[in-house]
Structure 1
Amino acid sequence: MKKDNVELWDSRELGASEDHVGAVSLDFNIEIDDSLGLQAISIRLQKDLLKNLKSIASYYDVGYQPMIRDLLNRFADSEIKKILRDQLRKIEKERQSRPQDTTAPVDEFMSDMQKRA
């Protein structure tokens, strides 16, 4: 029984020989980065940290650079949400300290924002 292409790629029977290796042009590389919204950066990390990150990525069978991108995206999303919640609390405190000259639409909007935070 012949394996399907996915299994052949996963087992490295397809695509792993030197016959299938080639360098892409700088322009094509830039085009790929642009289409994915990526930008190369340089960062210095402690050797032990990098070793640990690579070990974690290996355990989950993913590349360490995509894993670090995911880690940073999750951290950034979490921090942005925290900042927005803090700002919303500040706005709410300011609102409570003013005279209660408000309208229903504004109260509903603020209530909705608090529920989303």
Structure 2
Amino acid sequence: MSTKFSIEVAYALPSRQLILKLEVEPGTTAIEAARQSGIADHFEGLDIDTSRLGIFGKQVAATTLLQAGDRVEIYRPLQADPKMARRNRVKQQGASKIRHKTPSVAVRTR
């Protein structure tokens, strides 16, 4: 007889987050737990099958086996490429506002 164990499934939007507690059987994968939790019913447009998953902030494969106490996190897609977003911020700020680091000079005293 296998004993169920507790895990959590989490999803967050900028304005709202939800963490659901769930009892699962040994051998349950991250994707299975996300589906079993029913969390997609709470968020319009959430497609668990195409979302990236993680456990405690580290991205994992959907087929990763869960352990007691794990928190399965469902990640939202990036809204913009981070490199392009930074370039756009620099353009908006203007080149004059870019701070250049000056090398520190060690002064020796005798």
Task: Give the TM-score band, short-chain normalised.
Answer: under 0.3
TM-score, normalised to structure 2, is: 0.27
- Relative to its length, the structure with more helix (as a share) is 1
TM-score, normalised to structure 1, is: 0.26
- Relative to its length, the structure with more strand (as a share) is 2
